[in-house]
Amino acid sequence: MLKNEHYLELHTRPAALATRLHLVPLAGYTLLTLLVLAPVLPYARHALFGGEVAAVDGWQNVWNLWWVHRALTSGRNPLHTPYLYYPTGTDLHLQTLNISNGLIALPVTALFGPVAGYHFAVVLAFILAGMGGYALALHVCGHRLAAFVGGAIFTFAPFHMTKVWDGQLELIALQWLAFYAFFLLRTAEPGSEPPGDHRAGWFTMRQRDAVLAGIFLAVIGYTSWYYLLFFAVYSVLFVALWLITTPGWAQRRALLGHMLVVGVVGAVLLAPILLPALADVQGTSTTINPDSPLDLILIHSANLFDFWLPSYTHPLWGAAVKQLGSQWHPYIRGWNLALGYGALALAVLGGVAAWRVAWRWWVLALIALVLALGPLLHIGPLRTPIYLPYALLLDLPGVGIARRPSHFVVITTLLLAPLAALGLRWLLHRLAPTRRPLLLALVVVILALEYAPPRWPRLDPVVHPYYASLAGAEGALFDLPARNESSVPLQAQMTHELPILGGFVSRTPAYPFATLTPGVRQLWTLTPDREQLLAADARTNLTALDFHDVRHIVVHWDLLEPGQRTGLEQILAQTLPADAQVYADATFSAYRVPEVTGRPFAYFGTGWHPEEQAEGRVWRWMASTGDFFLVNPTDTALPVRLVLQAQSYLEPRAVEMRLNAQTLRTWPVQPASTATILHLLLPPGEQRLALHAPTALEQAGDRELSIVLTGIVVEGDWER
């Protein structure tokens, strides 16, 4: 780039002078950040600021900081939390966990709480993103003042401001993208080492930059899966462009070797989260449905008009822009992809005036815009049948889970920094020194007007005062109705600090505990028991809640749908003793589940068709494999007699019976009623009894059937 004169000049200065030269832009970006966030900072320990999305995603990210701090300070794995989806917990490999922000904010979170940690991470993201954009622009254009403006264009861009408006902390952390692009460029630049660098041949400055690029690539992955995907694509395109413009096979082999170092370092550092995440997304659908208005990939794709609209977060014209853009984005709130007219004008000027330097950056920027359009071209309200290159990416493993193609625009947003810096440098060099301050003032006024920050709405936490009384209590908390798309239970959890059933995560996991377990099942589905059940009945609900240590139940009556209140009141009456209620007001009730002396019980697991009943009889059909759970809620092993009554479908069938994967016996079940009795010494806790039998297709339906269970009884000495 520009024959690296500025690079050599930067790296041959005395260290003290080089440090001072970097402190000046650092101070500048710090001052600008404090000005932009001035209305927010006085309340930074107690409230968030932003729009409707931030009221959900922002508080989820505050919880992320809370959990990362709690995990790291207690020696737990932050990628699995026992605090959500109790009692199994849930993996967070695909969660917007952004561990990098959790680590950066760890001291602030520990001292002042996770809300303060969130704002610290936001402030730092603005400052460091500015420095990263400045470093990239300076390497490209060699002009400090122009590079500073380029860094400001990147860090205060509408895309960045929108992510703050939406409270999406993992997408706010743009600094890692800029530093990665900077060190990747330094790795690719031949002859980038200053004269007289006599380091050991196996670790030159260029190799050091390759290692640093790999480290920053890994940090991107520990921040956002979206950004990792985007910059993996960026890396492939970058290497291809630099290869075709690098003269000589020897230099090309050297470039490939250094890029391999970047990839290996990044892959090794990412392995602890990348491998489990890829396993989690196996089988994820990548099919797009052009006829579906709710196809997640399509509705999160950019519209061709989006790039040329001004920002909808602007305090003056933002409302009008949002009303216009919402006509072709009716299903989502976060679609702001504005690039900025001033930045675009400077970038176009830079592309024309310094085309030998700028053309590769423009190719990358334009490819990113095309990819942001998603798999099908949208023009205003029209969804065309024209397929775009993003559709090819969907064939790659794991890409189908990345449902926001529009965010590819972040690459273009970053590359506007060096391109705009090139344009401003050309303008400055065209003017006499006495007229340059006037030009700079004009550029600053235009950018300041266009990049004016929004009016920040305040988002206070929504936490009922009762939760504070649970701090230090034991057991799990059941928050009703279940809200797995809301961050409000997460806000409450940061107060009471108890594990909860369910929870708000990026990818909702399977949760059989809530849909199978007696007591829990009725509350989760808000469906009271019928009078007659095949296995566990209403008497076992309290025993099951006590056994699983579900100790606290809270109900937000105002959140129930019409007609649900009566059903929930019936469930609570069936399950809890009359004195279980410990708090009540007009919209909120709290109950404590007492400890009880329970008896062993059984309940259905997976593999069974829905229960049926008629004329006082109850039955349930099994597919090829059906599970039972046998529960001994006491502390000692108990002798149990398990009596099963069944009939086979159409013909006799041999039913293999296994207890905790150990074969017990084969039970020959006839088309007529057949019984078996198992005598078990049931240890404390929960045991799994699995039945397996061959199936046949139902004659009058499409179910696979093996046997039908008509009776199950758990007996023991406690019955006497």
pLDDT of residue 528: 87
Question: Could you tell me how many residues make up the chain?
Answer: 720
pLDDT band at 230 (very low <50, low <70, confident <90, very high): very high
| Residue 115 CA from chain centroid, whole number | 18
Q: What pLDDT does 19 receive?
A: 67
Long-range contacts of residues 25-28, Cβ cutoff 8 Å, at least 24 apart: 25/130, 25/131, 25/134, 25/144, 25/147, 25/148, 25/151, 26/127, 26/131, 28/130, 28/148, 28/152
Residue 9 has pLDDT above 60, yes or no: no
Q: Report the candidate in 324, 346, 330, 318 with the shortest Cα–Cα distance to residue 428.
A: 346
Bigger pLDDT: 653 vs 562: 653
What is the pLDDT averaged over residues 24-49? 95
Strand, helix or coil at 419?
A: helix
Tens digit of each residue's pLDDT (9 = 90 or more) over 408-454: 999 999 999 999 999 999 999 999 999 999 999 999 999 999 999 99
**pLDDT value, residue 198:** 45
Please give the torsion angle defined by the CA atoms of residues 510, 512, 513 and 516, in that order, rounded to the nearest 10 degrees.
160
Average per-residue pLDDT in the chain?
A: 91
Q: pLDDT tens digits for 618-667?
A: 899 999 999 999 999 999 999 999 999 999 999 999 999 999 989 999 99
Give pLDDT tens digits for 574-629: 899 999 999 999 999 999 999 998 889 999 999 999 988 888 888 999 999 999 99
Distances (CA, A) of 345 to 152, 303, 446: 15, 21, 11
Retrieve residue 489's tokens: 């239970």
Query: Which is higher by pLDDT, 8 or 23?
Result: 23
Structure tokens at 228: 């990792």
Question: How far apart, in whole angstroms, are the C-alpha atoms of residue 84 and residue 82?
Answer: 6
Q: Tokens for 243, please give them.
A: 């290869």
What is the model's pLDDT at position 299?
92
Q: In terms of pLDDT, which residue wins out, 293 or 188?
A: 188
Q: What is the mean pLDDT of residues 248-266?
A: 94
Which residue is listed with tokens 């594990």? 499
- Name the percent of the chain lying above pLDDT 90: 78
pTM of structure = 0.91
Tell whether the model's pLDDT for residue 463 goes beyond 60. yes
**427 DSSP 8-state letter:** H
* Cβ neighbour number for residue 598 with a 10 Å cutoff: 19
Q: For residue range 261-296, list pLDDT tens digits in order.
A: 999 999 999 999 988 888 777 655 567 877 677 788
Q: Residues of 326-350 as b/e, b for ≥16 C-beta within 10 angstroms?
A: eebbeeeebbbbbbbebbbebbebb
Question: What's the first-to-final CA gap in the chain, in angstroms?
Answer: 90
Q: Do 567 and 598 meet the contact criterion of CB atoms below 8 Å apart?
A: no
pLDDT tens digits, one per residue of 110-148: 999 999 999 999 999 999 999 999 999 999 999 999 999
| All structural domains of the chain with their residue ranges | 2-193+202-278+295-450, 475-592, 601-719
The topology (CATH level 3) of 601-719 is: Jelly Rolls (2.60.120)
